[in-house]
Amino acid sequence: MSSKIKLVVIGNGPVGHNFLEYLVESGQSENYQVTVFGEEPIPAYDRVHLTAWFETQSVDDINMVSDGFYPNNNFVLHTGDKVTKIDRFKRVVISEAGLEVSYDKIIMATGSYPFVPPVPGHDRDNVFVYRTIDDLEKITAAAKTSKVGAVIGGGLLGLEAAKALMDLDLQTHVIEFAPRLMAVQVDDGGGNMLSKKIQDLGVSVHTQKNTQNIGDGDSAFHKMSFADGQELETDIIVFSAGIRPRDELARQAGLGMGARGGVVINNNCLTSDEDIYAIGEVALWDNKIYGLIAPGWSMAQAAVDHLTQTGTSEFTGADMSTKLKLMGVDVASIGDAHGTTPNSRSYTYVNDREEVYKKIVVSEDDKYLLGAVLIGDAAEYGSLLQFMLNKMELPSEPEGLILPSLDGSSSGIGVDALPDSAVLCSCMNVSKADVINAVEAGANDMSTIKACTKAATGCGGCTALVTQVLNCELEKQGVEVNTDLCEHFAYTRQDLYNLIRVGKIKSFEELLEKHGSGLGCDICKPTAANILASCWNDHVLNSGLQGIQDTNDYFMGNMQKDGTYSVVPRVPGGEITPDKLIVLGEVAKEYNLYTKITGGQRVDLFGARSEQLPDIWRALVDAGFETGHAYGKSLRTVKSCVGSTWCRYGVQDSMGLAIKLENRYKGLRSPHKFKLAVSGCTRECAEAQSKDFGIIATENGWNLYVCGNGGMKPRHADLFASDLTEEEVITYIDRICMFYVRTADRLQRTSVWMDNMEGGLEYLKSVVIDDKLGLVTELEEEMAAVVDTYQCEWKTTIDDPEKLKRFSHFVNSKSHDDNVIFTTEREQIRPAVISERITEQA
Amino acid sequence: MTTENQQWFDICNIDDILPSMGRCALFNKQQVAIFRILDQQGQEQVYAIDNYCPFSESNTLSRGLTGSITDKVVVASPIYKQHFDLNSGSCLEDESVSVKTYPVRLNGSIVQLAV
Ligand code: SRM
Ligand SMILES: Cc1cc2nc3c(=O)[nH]c(=O)nc-3n(C[C@H](O)[C@H](O)[C@H](O)COP(=O)(O)OP(=O)(O)OC[C@H]3O[C@@H](n4cnc5c(N)ncnc54)[C@H](O)[C@@H]3O)c2cc1C
Ligand code: SF4
Ligand code: FES
């Protein structure tokens, strides 16, 4: 066996890791004996999404390394160990921990470090940078005892750091030396609009400020003094004043360097030593450092191709256009954003009401797009970028590309017009042809496209465009996705909803007769029951509706594995008087029910036989309880924390709002169950961000989060709007709820609904806040109708002998089901398992 | 299935069972699930199968939702949702499983079962 080539990878950041993935993909990795050094204590994580770490403070969300990747490929990874020397003469690398590893080839992927200008006081305590998880941990710890935070640097990363400080509940300042924010990527008009939007969010922006000294503060930990004589007091400072390549190792090894740093590479990413490659942010190509991830990945691919001779790709520069969301604000910059091309023309659209700024820069003859800046709404990013990259001829009045179209149709290009070679996803270098090939090979939805082409898995900026190409191709192939609800209805749930609402259909028979076939089934019947309830809110056991309810809805209890039911009275917000608590205990005792506190802040009584349900509920209703709808596809609970009434940290009355919301939405039938929670402060004891609607108190009101989920596939809720009044919270939830009821699929939680919504959160905002579809009055009225017709289903039922008939187990006998057998465990009943039944019956 | 010399027993009035739904009857110490269904021809039909669901090992089939799957009239188990053909008792999802069927008829407005 020929001996393997010894390959040492220095740096285990995103680019170094991607190099290894490409190496495996090349099929050549077995010919290499790979040793990897990473200075950070954990394996590669996705630095682009570093800020996501705050959400869970766990690296899991941004981990880049799939399970077993290193051991399975026999790659040796030394984390927490820095390479301190490359000895090109002895051909070894030496690490801080004292390891000495010999090499045939080296991949240098050491990235960059944040530049901290030598301002006096820059080395004080509570001064940080924003680059690694370690940095974030330190900032989080310091924030616990701080009130004010300042970021020095108003570029892309500075604003991201500012968002983090704001989320840590610090009063946040951004200090920028230049006259505007994001000076590199956007022009004056765009920078001003961006400032305005960011100030709206509560961040103070200070431009043209040159920090000259950092010393002790009076009211806060530091005092910053600026060249113009002004001062600012702050507890925390984060420097974000640019990055510098981490080229100290290359310098030590004597490799060719740029005048201002960076390791010089050629198109194959080789340095001046033909056994050493450099990729990512440490590399200098054509005198340029690329501070973005996509060029790093192209370099990694070029290096693999050259090293293994399995491909021919080269790194020949990269487009630096970017689209991102900073504090929820869309910002995009394309090509020559500043219009520096001689004789170029520009067109600008400014909308102060909606705080949108758009500019395009075109060639002298109006034919070609050279650059663009989009602030506040970057929907056109994808198509504008394609115009520029593919040098496509612009329409005759190019300004139309950024003007809002009054009829609601979208301007821009038809994706069909794009050449096959057009790169749709620059992060992953996926062309239109790649997507078409994938569709031809059978991919017919975005998740499959993502899995097989990797398109849209980086920054996500290309998602809309890739989806359009996908849909266009599917259409061309005549592929029709069957979205029929079931064999009885050739409609989606949304279609049925509209048919029922518009046709004023009140029963399943009518629906089946007009729009369906056959007898119906256990899919369409409950779906219809659910929609009928959302629309008309009649009692579930009204004649005509009974036969289509799921058994849980019919018996108004959840059927357990042995055919008995659970009883869950509503306890709004989880608040309950001792007297009521005693009633629950007494009822449970009388009927010998297993009693448990649920995960939803209420009490569940298990083991009731169907014929016992009416008596149990009579006792509960008499004591003032209502049904908890644990059985319905409807509101479950509004989880609460005790809030400002008792808690020393609470800033609003979370208890009061939780109870109000629970009483408002109780009984509303929806495509799937939905849950709310209200926390009294940012400590979030009610876990609101895991709910369909989460409300968190702020000093100024309430922040509303939407479309979170626990359960099988957890999803954090998205921030929908900030600092709302109670009335605004209710209005928005009303609207979103009814929009969900209208448009979601059967058994689709809000989380999945959101993930499948074209345009996502921004689209939902445009519908709910800006009333883009002209729907909000209707939605509010529909909700009001449901709220006004609320009845406790159990209360109505126990008063109606007709409705009670079916609760007895036998139609012709008063006996019980003798197959329901309990045994005792921890002093309570539980269903007996088979072996226990035999002995008990014997 | 039904023969002339079968002995029929009255179980309940047809109105005790709501349209397109089932009820459980106690018959010869057996739990029998009886369903009342307007079939695809618009005829009022009654069906009777075991109430015992072999998948969940519970007496629950009478509480399932009824309907049709292609040309078969079925009930869906309320617990794990398998479908049973009301004519034959066989499970649509798993051929090896079936439940017993019982002779049943409507005599005027009286539902009757036979041994
Ligand atoms: C009783 C309870 C567990 C407990 O002992 O604490 C419970 C019990 C059931 N859950 Fe749950 N869930 C309970 C809290 C939760 C929670 C926690 C919460 O709400 O804070 C979750 C995760 C949060 C979430 O929903 O996002 C939860 C996620 C689920 C799921 C998964 C949903 C998902 O989107 O992935 C199901 C299955 C489903 O609905 O399709 C489910 C379904 C069920 C069902 C209805 C299963 C069934 O069909 O028999 C259980 C019967 C309840 C009964 O008989 O009363 N339960 N379930 C909790 C009742 C809370 C209440 O007071 O109403
Ligand atoms: C907050 C934030 C947001 C960002 N957002 C975006 C964005 O939206 N879009 C975008 O394109 N880019 C973004 N970036 C930039 C992107 O993260 C970088 O382009 C990318 O991380 C570069 O990858 P790299 O592997 O070259 O370098 P790095 O990520 O810096 O990784 C280099 C690794 O090598 C280690 N190392 C260094 N020297 C040694 C040594 N001698 N021995 C061993 N290990 C060593 C370092 O500790 C580090 O772990 C963002 C960056 C940050 C910090
Ligand atoms: S969320 Fe806030 S107010 Fe509520 S209990 Fe926790 S700390 Fe107290
Ligand atoms: S362009 Fe970033 S994911 Fe496609």
In sequence order, what DSSP letters do the residues of A730-766 get, joined into one string? HHHHHHHHHHHHHHPPTT--HHHHHHHSTTHHHHHHH
Tell me the average pLDDT across B90-96. Answer: 89
- Could you tell me which residues come within 8 angstroms of residue A43 by beta carbon, excluding any fewer than 6 positions away? A12, A17, A63, A64, A65, A70, A77, A79
Q: How many domains does chain B have?
A: 1
Q: Which two tokens stand for residue A530?
A: 């659910």
CA distance B24 to A817: 10
Q: What is the pLDDT of residue A408?
A: 37
Ligand 4 centroid to A462 CA: how many Å?
A: 5
pLDDT at B9 > cutoff 70: yes
Quick check: A746 and A485 in contact, CB under 8 A?
Answer: yes
Residue A587 carries which side chain, given as an amino acid letter?
A: V
Q: What is the pLDDT of residue A482?
A: 63
From chain B, the residues in CB contact with A810 under 8 A are: 23-26, 31
Q: Cα-atom radius of gyration of chain B, to the nearest Å?
A: 13
Chain centroid, CA A259 distance in Å: 42
Of chain B, the end-to-end C-alpha distance in Å amounts to 11
pLDDT in tens, A741-786: 999 988 889 998 998 887 889 999 999 999 988 889 999 999 999 9
Please judge whether A548 and B65 are an interchain contact, meaning their C-beta atoms are less than 8 angstroms apart: yes
Q: Where are the beta strands (DSSP E) in A319-466?
A: 322-326, 329-335, 345-351, 356-362, 369-375, 423-425, 430-431
Q: What is the pLDDT of residue A411?
A: 41
Tell me the average pLDDT across B91-107. Answer: 92
Ligand 1 centroid to A662 CA: how many Å?
A: 17
* DSSP character string of A161-192: HHHHHHHTT-EEEEE-SSSSTTTTT--HHHHH
Tell me the average pLDDT across B39-68. Answer: 92
From chain A, the residues in CB contact with B31 under 8 A are: 810, 817, 819
| Residue span of the structural domain in which B16 resides | 3-114
Q: What is the dihedral of CA A272, A278, A280, A282, to 10 degrees?
A: -60
Question: How many CB atoms are closer than 10 A to CB A720?
Answer: 24
Give me the residues of A, 533-552, that contact B with CB < 8 A: 543, 546-548, 550-552
Parse chain A into domains and list their residue ranges: 5-112+245-308, 127-241, 493-549, 634-791
CATH says A634-791 is which class?
alpha beta
Q: What is the pLDDT of residue A277?
A: 98
- Could you tell me which residues come within 8 angstroms of residue A624 by beta carbon, excluding any fewer than 6 positions away? A580
Ligand 4 centroid to A88 CA: how many Å?
A: 38
What is the CATH number assigned to the segment(s) A127-241?
3.50.50.60
Interface mutation target, options B51, B58, B75, B102, chain A, most CBs of A under 10 Å: B58
Q: Collect the ranges in chain A with pLDDT lower than 70.
A: 1-2, 405-414, 479-482, 838-842
Domains A5-112+245-308 and A634-791 agree in fold: no
3-state secondary structure of B23: strand
Question: How many CB atoms are closer than 10 A to CB A212?
Answer: 14
* DSSP character string of A596-610: EE-TTSSEEEEEE-G
Please judge whether B16 and A805 are an interchain contact, meaning their C-beta atoms are less than 8 angstroms apart: yes
Chain centroid, CA A389 distance in Å: 29
Q: Cα-atom radius of gyration of chain A, to the nearest Å?
A: 31
Strand order in the sheet with B8-13: B8-13, B110-114, B104-107
Tell me the average pLDDT across B62-69. Answer: 94
CATH code for the domain in which residue B59 is found: 2.102.10.10
Q: Right CATH number for A5-112+245-308 from 2.40.340.10, 3.50.50.60, 3.40.50.1220, 3.40.50.300?
A: 3.50.50.60
pLDDT in tens, A605-618: 999 999 999 999 99
Measured between CB atoms, does B92 come within 8 Å of chain A?
Answer: no
pLDDT at B44 > cutoff 60: yes
Q: What is the pLDDT of residue A481?
A: 58
The nearest alpha carbon in chain A to B12 belongs to A812
**ipTM score assigned to the predicted complex:** 0.71
Give me the residues of A, 482-501, that contact B with CB < 8 A: 487-488
CA distance A202 to B19: 61
Size of chain B, expressed as the number of residues it contains: 115
Element (H, E) at A95: strand A92-95
CA distance A570 to A604: 10
